[in-house]
Amino acid sequence: MNKKKICILTISLNMGGAERVISLLLKHLVHDYDVTLVLLSDDIEFDIPEQVTLHVLGKSNILKNKPPHSKLKSTVMFIYKYYKIVKREKFDIAMSFLALPNIINSIIANYVNHKKTHTVISERCYPSEMYKQGTFAMKMAKLFYPIFYNKNDRLFSNSVHINEDLKENFKIKIPMDVIYNPIEISHPKPFKDSYDGSAPFKIINVGSHSHAKNQELILNALRTLDTNVSLTILGTGNLTQDLKDYIQTHHITNDIHMPGKVKNVGEYLLQSDCFVLSSITEGFPNVLLEAMAIGIPVISTNCMSGPLEILNDNEEVTIDDGEFYLAKYGILINVNDNIALTKAITFFKDNDDMRKKYSDLGYKKAKQYDLPEIYKEVKLLLDNEY
């Protein structure tokens, strides 16, 4: 029996959340389907299984820091090249991740034999939060999302809140599912709490240095914590120098390490005592789950979307300003509340039993997102599209 043919379209396989999800799913998809991966750029950092047919449509800098007319020209080129691939290969399903690939996939949905090729798109951010900083960007999203997204057969995201936002604020009417991001779980739990107060309490944050990830919140909290707390911030971004300037300007004397982009994130996590997610907005924070999967106790802002679903089974909470909330699997604070973050870090630092309790609870929760379990949901969705 011939395997069904599936195409996955995305921007790149750089070190991002959606890219990580695709790289994990490919490991299982190749056993059940004939898989083609189409990338808009040749920025590849994750391994690709040898069974996958790869098409790269452009260079790594093709969409970076380009004027609008240049991006439009590149997009037209992507549409033409992708259309030729889909028409030639006659895929059973053409699936895409992230906004631009989703729109390209939506355009193609009008021109291929739709009875043959079904289109499935995946939204990975909370649109109302993602675009609220720019009036023009929000207007464009509210114009183009319903025009293009509704041309597809199905949409899936990684948060119930994303789907609600798409339905209520962007008029998406096609069937929508929620499939959470997969992670790979190590058994038994790798992390062992060894903090005894003699060395600095080690906090870690992992993510792009950007407005959305908001590492400045942690730096602001450090200003009121004693120097027996250290911080490691993994990643790079357009705000890297701003973060370094903030440290200098505010004379923060804690040990702070910024080693840049690393591939051995797990090793850094294991050397830490507490993970902090400081984000203003998320789609679904992979790194929060990955920290829990290792067994590190976690503190997270209650941003849209993901942390509430992960840390409190999506049960709503009320958090007073300046206070933290002991959720089921970790600690939640309000967005941008550095006073609450200071208190939460101090709480974990001073309470061995609670650190160990949340280490165990977080690890237990993370098992629900183990790759084989999430892949079953993906396969069920794909099989139902035939």
Q: Give the distance from CA 187 to its chain's centroid.
A: 23
- Residue 188 counted as domain residue: no
CATH number, position 168 = 3.40.50.2000
* 170 and 206 together in one domain: no
Q: Provide the pLDDT for residue 17.
A: 85
* 98 and 13 together in one domain: yes
On whether the CB atoms of residues 52 and 25 are closer than 8 A, the answer is no
- In whole numbers, what is the pLDDT of the chain averaged over residues? 93
* 143 and 278 together in one domain: no
* 263 and 177 together in one domain: no
DSSP result, 218-257: HHHHHTTS-TTEEEEEE---TTHHHHHHHHHHTT--S-EE
- Residue 292 counted as domain residue: yes
On whether the CB atoms of residues 17 and 284 are closer than 8 A, the answer is yes
Q: What's the token pair of residue 188? A: 């038994």
- Residue 190 counted as domain residue: no
Closest Cα partner for 7 from 384, 376, 382?
Answer: 382
- Residue 71 counted as domain residue: yes
Q: How confident is the model at residue 133 (pLDDT cuts 50, 70, 90)?
A: confident
Q: Are strands 201-206 and 176-178 parallel, antiparallel or unpaired?
A: unpaired
| Sheet containing 274-277: order of strands | 256-260, 229-234, 201-206, 274-277, 298-301, 331-333, 325-326
> E-assigned strands of 284-369?
298-301, 325-326, 331-333
* 316 and 253 together in one domain: yes
Amino acid, single-letter form, for residue 343? K
Q: Provide the pLDDT for residue 116.
A: 81
Q: Provide the pLDDT for residue 186.
A: 85
With a pLDDT cut of 90, the percent of the chain lying above it is 83
CA distances from 230 to 196, 226, 371 (A): 15, 9, 32
When pLDDT is averaged across residues 23-52 and rounded to a whole number, the result is 96
pLDDT digits (tens, 9 = 90+) for 272-328: 999 999 999 998 899 999 999 999 999 999 998 899 999 999 999 999 999 999 999
- Residue 194 counted as domain residue: no
- Residue 342 counted as domain residue: yes
- Residue 35 counted as domain residue: yes
Query: Taking the CB of residue 62, how many other CB atoms lie within 10 A of it?
Result: 20
When pLDDT is averaged across residues 349-378 and rounded to a whole number, the result is 96
Is the pLDDT score of 386 beyond 60? Answer: no
When pLDDT is averaged across residues 80-92 and rounded to a whole number, the result is 93
Q: Which residue reads 């043959």 in tokens?
A: 116
Q: Provide the pLDDT for residue 71.
A: 83
Q: How confident is the model at residue 115 (pLDDT cuts 50, 70, 90)?
A: low
Q: Which residue reads 């849209």 in tokens?
A: 304
pLDDT digits (tens, 9 = 90+) for 239-278: 999 999 999 999 999 999 999 989 899 999 999 999 999 9
**Higher-pLDDT residue of 61, 29:** 29
Q: Provide the pLDDT for residue 384.
A: 86
* 154 and 273 together in one domain: no
With a pLDDT cut of 70, the percent of the chain lying above it is 98
pTM of the model: 0.86
Q: What are phi and psi of 162, to 5 degrees?
A: -65, -45
pLDDT digits (tens, 9 = 90+) for 39-79: 999 999 999 999 999 999 998 877 776 777 788 899 999 99
* 135 and 54 together in one domain: yes
Domain that holds residue 352: 201-369
* 378 and 347 together in one domain: no
* 161 and 261 together in one domain: no
* 215 and 87 together in one domain: no
* 174 and 267 together in one domain: no
Angle at 64 between CA 59 and CA 70, to 5 degrees: 85
Give SS3 for 163: helix
* 154 and 270 together in one domain: no
The alpha carbons of the chain give a radius of gyration, in whole angstroms, of 21
- Residue 78 counted as domain residue: yes
pLDDT digits (tens, 9 = 90+) for 165-206: 999 999 999 999 999 999 999 889 999 999 999 999 999 999
Peptide bond into 146 cis (omega under 30): no
Number of domains in the chain: 2
On whether the CB atoms of residues 293 and 368 are closer than 8 A, the answer is no
Cα(47)–Cα(35) distance, rounded to whole angstroms?
A: 15
On whether the CB atoms of residues 328 and 263 are closer than 8 A, the answer is no
Q: Which residue reads 């004027």 in tokens?
A: 67
Q: Provide the pLDDT for residue 64.
A: 72
Q: Provide the pLDDT for residue 113.
A: 61
* 47: DSSP letter: -
List of residues 6+ apart from 172 with CB closer than 8 A = 145, 146, 149, 150, 155, 166
